[in-house]
Structure 1
Amino acid sequence: MEQNKQNLDNQRNDIIAGRNPVMEAIRSGRSIESILVAKGERSGSVVAIIAKAKQKNIPVKDVDSKKLDFLAKGVNHQGIVAQCAVKEYSTLEDIFALAEERGESPFIIVLDKIEDPHNLGAIIRTAECAGAHGVIIPERRSAGLSYTVEKTSAGALEYMPVVRVKNISAVLQKLKDKGIWVYGADMDGEHYKKVNFDGAVALVIGNEGKGISPLVAKDCDVIVSLPMKGKINSLNASVAAGILMYEIADKR
């Protein structure tokens, strides 16, 4: 019994293990990033859990049972684990409220399919330090607010509103309707030092490998670029984001 208590204490707050706990987490509306199911496990209540997850558009992934053992930290996972957000997602209104509370024009970071949780955590950390009011990420093909993101953010996640949306293009249009200028970071753009970032700003950072998607790029008011003087033609997404965030902070 003491061992079970210790195992429960060691569990991360983004992991829910076991059939009943996972089903209750789904029913409660908790922010769940994905459901992990042991390969070949489709017996009993697992079928109902998978159906409920798909109904709520929660990704379901088949994984090796050893991965579930590792995540559950000794808790009986019964072939299923839910990976949850370590913090509830905010809303766009929360971002605007924070900007208003500070008496500042909105400064928002929009991430177009950043998949590496270390990059996401680093961007959230820099965004908080640079005075941004919020970060926006898409629901699909993006890292979520996982344990790794929380650790990499070094505490910044506690102070930075993060909003998860279905469609980045649609949210960019909402931002523009509110008078916010949208700047996308890409190789084929205007030199970032020549751009006036004054006023309300949304900075779009693209995927680590593919950059900003063509559809999202069309929704940007201005494309900005960082000069590449070496033999490598791109920077790590979080590094590029950091340089541009501080340039924006300086010009604001």
Structure 2
Amino acid sequence: MAGNSQRRNRRTSNKKGAQIGSGGKRRRGLEGKGPTPPAEMRKGHKKNRVAGAQARAAARKPAQRRGGKGTSELVVGRNPVVEALREDVPAKTLYVQQFIDNDERVREVLQLAADRGGVNLMEAPRAELDRMTNGLNHQGLVLQVPPYEYAHPEDLAAAAYDNGEEPLIVALDGVTDPRNLGAVVRSVAAFGGHGVVVPERRAAGMTAGAWKTSAGTAARTPVARATNLTRALEGYQKAGLTVVGLAADAETELGDLAALDGPVVIVVGSEGKGLSRLVGETCDILVRIPMPGGAESLNAGVATGVVLYEAARSRA
């Protein structure tokens, strides 16, 4: 019945009970939330919706090889992305996870990308980043490195001749560590070389790791990619270059080689296997680096630096 106050749990007063403190929520609500994020990262903004759609499309579309270009590469994780942007690794798009924890590294990444310019900023759901990275621990940050535009092997010698210089080129045979490739590029730049040639298959390419190791010299030292390294070396021979291969068991020592002051291609193999049979047979001469300390071999980056120093000294 109406007005029956004996019913269980019936409230007979409009007064509320004792109020408990907010636990600091009201105070935190008055605090500033930092600078306004870019439009691409503001939920509900038109640019945010467009960026999300583009990120989903990019995640579904595989990278393709075209002509002399490599493939797109993804740098994954907060520390790797920070380091890549610090070292001026070419970057095309920065993907940032929605509702990411805005820690110091994230703020630095966003600042570096903004300062550089030309880097597209896209916000994407975690599921899309998981799909893009095949489940790697991306920590909410993924940097897309554009395909490297390789030169043609013939272009390296032609550019040297056009400048009135004797070509000094390094070819790598079976070197699979991108850091070694980056170190070789750096040495070529330091000693006045005209470029590096790498095989298209079973060899390191110009990845983000190679860019970082080159310490920025990859921006001015061309790297060419050869479909067949042996045929590329034969082409250099027809153009008047001497092909010199490094081999630990060669009879001729580096100091006795007179060809370094002319047009030359220095061929360096992997630390373990050295030169492949066909490449070794194609070389005009094989030389070894004397190592009185007893070491059996040097890695490709160090060996190349030694030979290039000797070449620069001979040419001077």
Q: Tell me, which stretches of 5 or more residues in structure 2 are unaligned?
A: 1-39, 52-56, 75-131
Q: Compared with structure 1, are the counterparts of its residues 198 and 72 closer, same or farther at alpha carbon in structure 2 (3 Å cutoff)?
A: farther
SS of the residue 2:266 aligns to: strand
Question: Match for 1:95: what amino acid?
Answer: L
Aligned to 1:205: 268
Q: Provide the aligned length of Structure 1 versus Structure 2.
A: 207
Q: Tell me, which stretches of 5 or more residues in structure 1 are unaligned?
A: 10-15, 37-62, 76-81
Match status 1:2 vs 2:41: yes
Aligned to 1:129: 190
Match status 1:195 vs 2:263: no
Question: Match for 2:135: what amino acid?
Answer: K
Aligned 8 A contact 2:269 2:300 in 1: yes
| TM-score normalised by L of structure 1 | 0.73
Q: Compared with structure 1, are the counterparts of its residues 71 and 112 closer, same or farther at alpha carbon in structure 2 (3 Å cutoff)?
A: farther
Match status 1:147 vs 2:208: yes
Q: Compared with structure 1, are the counterparts of its residues 64 and 153 closer, same or farther at alpha carbon in structure 2 (3 Å cutoff)?
A: closer
Q: Distance in 2 between matches of 1:114 and 1:145?
A: 12
Match status 1:66 vs 2:167: no
SS of the residue 2:295 aligns to: coil
Match status 1:183 vs 2:224: no
Residue 249 of structure 1, CA deviation: 1.6
Residue 209 of structure 1, CA deviation: 1.6
| TM-score normalised by L of structure 2 | 0.59
Aligned 8 A contact 1:33 1:144 in 2: no
Q: Compared with structure 1, are the counterparts of its residues 246 and 117 closer, same or farther at alpha carbon in structure 2 (3 Å cutoff)?
A: same
Pick 1 or 2: higher relative contact order, CA cutoff 8 A, min separation 6. Answer: 1
Aligned 8 A contact 1:17 1:72 in 2: no
Aligned 8 A contact 2:246 2:269 in 1: yes
Q: Distance in 1 between matches of 2:201 and 2:140?
A: 25
RMSD: 3.1
Question: Match for 2:264: what amino acid?
Answer: V
Aligned to 2:218: 157
SS of the residue 1:65 aligns to: coil
Aligned 8 A contact 1:137 1:164 in 2: yes
Which protein is bigger by CA-based radius of gyration?
2
Give the % identical residues.
39
Runs of 4+ residues over 6 Å off in structure 1: 3-6
Residue 143 of structure 1, CA deviation: 0.8
Aligned to 2:64: 26
Aligned 8 A contact 1:32 1:83 in 2: no
